[in-house]
């Protein structure tokens, strides 16, 4: 396979700001077509990025084009339908997070993937930040000892370009499905995906109606680890806050900026590697690393990271998080 032939469905914010610019830099990528229901938008975006063919119907695109993969950047409500159609057409797929609006939809995508035997990767770009990859390597090597607590969060203003994110029928939820799922995945990935024992959630809607704009989540894991997550579109802070603090029996660490401390000979020592990029560059590089990894998996170079099966388990936890908030009670897992 000389170049991976890519069709992108969804010409909105995610495609324009991240996916298309990254693919333009990758020698192994060839974006041959673009699809969006908005004809004027898809035409304009295709012209901007030098894409010769565009469609307003993804079914027509699948019928006409000889594609290796489809990259799905639509509203979350469309993920299940488009993903299953692409898998039935024997295409490998990349799906921007979250995989679906709820657990049952995620299961349907996973079952279609298993039946088609195609590769599916779910967008979780924070795993591909250079600082998070370094931190995870320290955890895996045992430098921090057994991790017992992870405190993580993301507080930022709601991006106006994604108006649909505030409507539950389109998004499936509010700030937790937008930002919280990223922090949940990061915490689970850092700790080796322990099983959940119980979850407790408080959601708030200060500036939104129908979905939450702030969320606080407490997760107790079966291996004894505790995870807390706070996310908000409406917190009164000067600058965006994105963090993941990890506490182990032999050391602790955090990202943004990356700092790693451990006990050595009775003293606390800073063992942070040098030459870490600034925050904005880390975010950009995360998408570059992520999409390059996806193309490598399609080419058979390595297995997929951030699989659809992981996404299903993640959505099971998300469903429990929303159930806890609605019922105002703790939810236990069997």
If you count them, how many residues does the chain have? 334
Could you confirm whether domain 4-124 is CATH 3.40.50.300?
A: no
Q: What's the rounded Cα separation, in Å, for the pair 235 and 68?
A: 42
Q: What's the rounded Cα separation, in Å, for the pair 330 and 334?
A: 13
CB 19 within 8 A of CB 73: yes
The DSSP output letter for 276 is P
Domain ranges of the chain: 4-124, 126-288+313-332
Chain position carrying tokens 């830099």: 25
pLDDT on residue 265: 87
pLDDT on residue 160: 66
Region of 328 (left: φ > 0; alpha: ψ -120 to 50; beta: rest) is left
The predicted-structure confidence for 2-29, as pLDDT tens digits, reads as follows: 899 999 999 999 999 999 999 999 999 9
H helix or E strand, kind and range, residue 248: strand 241-248
Query: At 9, is the secondary structure helix, strand, or coil?
Result: strand
The predicted-structure confidence for 197-247, as pLDDT tens digits, reads as follows: 999 999 999 999 999 999 999 999 999 999 999 999 999 999 999 999 999
One of 3.40.50.300, 1.25.40.10, 3.30.360.10, 1.10.10.10 is the CATH number of 126-288+313-332, namely: 3.30.360.10
Cα-flanking dihedrals φ and ψ of residue 88, to 5°?
-65, -25
pLDDT band per the 50, 70, 90 thresholds, residue 275: confident
pLDDT on residue 163: 86
H helix or E strand, kind and range, residue 318: helix 308-327
**What are the residues whose beta carbons fall under 8 Å from the beta carbon of 3, sequence distance 6 or more?**
27, 28, 29, 30
Mean pLDDT score across all residues of the chain: 96
The predicted-structure confidence for 160-176, as pLDDT tens digits, reads as follows: 678 899 999 999 999 99
In whole angstroms, how far apart are CA 156 and each of 238, 323, 333? 9, 24, 31
Q: What's the rounded Cα separation, in Å, for the pair 119 and 108?
A: 15
């Amino acid at each position: 396979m000389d170049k991976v032939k890519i069709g992108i469905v969804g010409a909105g914010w995610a495609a324009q700001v991240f996916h298309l610019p990254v693919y333009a830099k990758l020698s192994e990528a060839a974006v041959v077509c673009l699809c969006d229901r908005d004809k004027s938008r898809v035409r304009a975006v295709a012209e901007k990025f030098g894409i010769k063919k565009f469609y307003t119907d993804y079914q027509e695109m699948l019928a006409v084009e000889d594609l290796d993969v489809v990259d799905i950047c639509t509203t979350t409500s469309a993920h299940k339908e488009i993903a299953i159609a692409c898998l039935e057409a024997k295409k490998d797929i990349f799906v921007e997070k979250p995989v679906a609006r709820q657990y049952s939809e995620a299961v349907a995508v996973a079952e279609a993937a298993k039946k088609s035997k195609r590769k599916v990767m779910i967008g979780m770009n924070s795993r591909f930040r250079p600082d998070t990859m370094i931190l995870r390597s320290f955890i895996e090597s045992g430098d921090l000892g057994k991790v017992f607590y992870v405190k993580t969060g993301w507080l930022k203003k709601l991006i106006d370009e994604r108006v649909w994110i505030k409507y539950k029928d389109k998004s499936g939820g509010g700030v937790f499905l937008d930002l919280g799922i990223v922090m949940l995945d990061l915490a689970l990935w850092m700790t080796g995906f322990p099983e959940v024992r119980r979850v407790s959630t408080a959601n708030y809607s200060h500036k939104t109606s129908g979905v939450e704009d702030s969320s606080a989540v407490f997760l107790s894991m079966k291996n004894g680890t505790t995870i807390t997550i706070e996310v908000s579109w409406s917190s009164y802070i000067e600058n965006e806050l994105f963090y993941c603090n990890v506490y182990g029996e032999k050391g602790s660490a955090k990202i943004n900026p990356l700092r790693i401390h451990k006990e050595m000979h009775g003293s606390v020592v800073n063992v942070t590697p040098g030459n870490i990029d600034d925050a904005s560059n880390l975010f950009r590089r995360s998408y570059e690393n992520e999409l390059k990894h996806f193309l490598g998996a399609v080419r058979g170079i390595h297995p997929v990271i951030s699989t659809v099966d992981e996404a299903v388990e993640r959505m099971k936890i998300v469903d429990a998080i929303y159930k806890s908030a609605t019922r105002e009670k703790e939810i236990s897992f069997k």
